[in-house]
Structure 1
Amino acid sequence: MAFGWSLCVAVLFLSLEIVLIHANSEGDALYALRRSLVDPENVLQSWDPTLVNPCTWFHVTCNSQNQVTRVDLGNVNLSGSLVPELGNLQHLKYLELYKNNLKGRIPEELGKLKYLVSLDLYMNNFTGQIPRSLGKLKSLVFLRLNHNQLTGKIPRELTTISSLKVVDVSNNNLCGTIPISGSFSGFPVKNFESNPRLDGPELQGFVPYETSCE
């Protein structure tokens, strides 16, 4: 009887330790994001790294296992850049960072977020290419990258995501051709417009890209 009780206690403490380690790693990832941002309105004031987990922080939502599932920081006047540590938020479903002043590249590490449903980075100042690693996000439904300064081609890896329902990359500086295979077969042309070097069916006003697409 005593052995059984001891075993139950040991399992309980081990489970608690695993939860704490996981929560701390997610808190570390979010705090790394906080350090990379300029926050003039103090919307991240509650992001205190001394707490056991980040589930009590404003703009962060967790599930019943204290795993971060949402980060909602849209339209809160943030500037700065994203960090690769965001790839450690293993259970994240929604990353909402739209309508800010964020810049720099979209981290390749976002391709690790296998449960991600919505990636909304529109109306920022992101530069560089759309990471090919986003093609690994097999749960992704919404991808909104419009109104940034992104360059290069639209990764063909994105066409393999069968769950995609909305893709908007309009108002960037993308080049090459619009994919029309897989999940991209039904997306409206307006979701690709205002990319002067991007070519596709019914898309007007593009400049030949053969020698300049990067």
Structure 2
Amino acid sequence: MAFWPLFLLLLLAFSPSMNANMEGDALYALRRALKDPGNVLQSWDPTLVDPCTWFHVTCDKDNRVTRLDLGNARLSGNLVPELGRLEKLQYLELYRNNLVGSIPKELGGLKSLLSLDLYHNNLTGPIPPSLNRLSSLRFLRLNKNRLTGRIPRELTTLRSLKILDVSDNDLCGTIPTSGAFSKFSEKSFENNPRLEGPELMGSVSYDVGCSN
């Protein structure tokens, strides 16, 4: 009979309500980190178990968060590492706001992500190499921020990537040309004053003089 308490704990751990609680906590952590003058997050009530009832949040039939639509919402503040817990998230749309700070490396945990749109904010710091774990990613738009450092070579392994835009930042070093990056034009990288041309095959000096 001793196994029953353990069985019940495991059952709770994998229940939809437990997942909803975890995802609701992650989203509410984001709300706490943001200033919201337009009250677009007013419905994000932490006392509700299911975040699928919140505006700008879309869920699947299992009540897992699949989409976060907060583009052009006049939000300011920071992204939070808790967002990496949204394992079923496919679309993270936070473009055209006034977000500051760095891109959390924990976003590499969004294993279902198809589109990451953080363009037209005031994000700083490097592009996290951990984004190379987003094996399903098709759209990566980080343009019009203040990102620095080199373009991580780890991102060249993103075979599903169709659209990349890191223009209008302060990136440096040379442009990767291998893997997924072989199909992107110069337009994807323009207006980075410290970013040089495409790297030579086999070059190991792309990051010389390039710092974050």
Instruction: Give TM-score scaled by structure 1 length.
Output: 0.88
Equivalent position of 2:38 in the other structure: 41
Equivalent position of 2:76 in the other structure: 79
In structure 2, how many angstroms separate the alpha carbons of the residues matched to 1:15 and 1:64? 19
% identity of equivalent residues: 66
Q: 1:23 aligns with which of 20, 25, 36?
A: 20
Which of the pair has more CA radius of gyration? Answer: 1
Q: 2:125 aligns with which of 109, 124, 128?
A: 128
Output the amino acid matched with 1:37: L
Equivalent position of 1:178 in the other structure: 175
In structure 1, how many angstroms separate the alpha carbons of the residues matched to 2:197 and 2:12? 53
**Equivalent residues of 1:23, 1:66 under 8 A apart:** yes
In structure 2, how many angstroms separate the alpha carbons of the residues matched to 1:17 and 1:115? 18
Equivalent position SS for 2:125: coil
Q: 1:102 aligns with which of 81, 99, 104?
A: 99
Equivalent position of 1:139 in the other structure: 136
Give the 4+ runs in structure 1 shifted more than 2 A.
14-17, 208-214
In structure 2, how many angstroms separate the alpha carbons of the residues matched to 1:169 and 1:17? 38
Tell me the alpha carbon deviations over residues 131-184 of structure 1, each in whole angstroms, 9 at most, x when there is no partner: 000011000000000000000000011100100000000000000010010000
**Equivalent residues of 1:198, 1:209 under 8 A apart:** no
Shift of residue 200, structure 1, vs aligned partner: 1.4
In structure 2, how many angstroms separate the alpha carbons of the residues matched to 1:27 and 1:49? 7
In structure 2, how many angstroms separate the alpha carbons of the residues matched to 1:209 and 1:142? 25
**Equivalent residues of 2:57, 2:65 under 8 A apart:** yes
Equivalent position of 2:3 in the other structure: none
Tell me the alpha carbon deviations over residues 79-135 of structure 1, each in whole angstroms, 9 at most, x when there is no partner: 000000000101000000000000000000000011100000000000000000001
Equivalent position of 1:193 in the other structure: 190
1:93 equivalent in alignment to 2:90: yes
**Equivalent residues of 1:111, 1:136 under 8 A apart:** yes
In structure 2, how many angstroms separate the alpha carbons of the residues matched to 1:160 and 1:16? 33
In structure 1, how many angstroms separate the alpha carbons of the residues matched to 2:146 and 2:100? 9
Equivalent position of 2:209 in the other structure: 211
**Equivalent residues of 2:12, 2:18 under 8 A apart:** no
Output the amino acid matched with 2:177: I
Tell me the alpha carbon deviations over residues 168-204 of structure 1, each in whole angstroms, 9 at most, x when there is no partner: 0000000001001000001111110000010114xxx
**Equivalent residues of 2:58, 2:67 under 8 A apart:** yes
In structure 2, how many angstroms separate the alpha carbons of the residues matched to 1:209 and 1:186? 22
Equivalent position SS for 2:144: coil
Q: Which runs of 5+ in 1 are unaligned?
A: 1-9, 202-207
- Give the alignment's Cα RMSD to 1 decimal: 1.8
Q: Which runs of 5+ in 2 are unaligned?
A: 1-6, 199-205
Equivalent position SS for 1:180: coil
In structure 2, how many angstroms separate the alpha carbons of the residues matched to 1:167 and 1:121? 12
Output the amino acid matched with 2:142: L
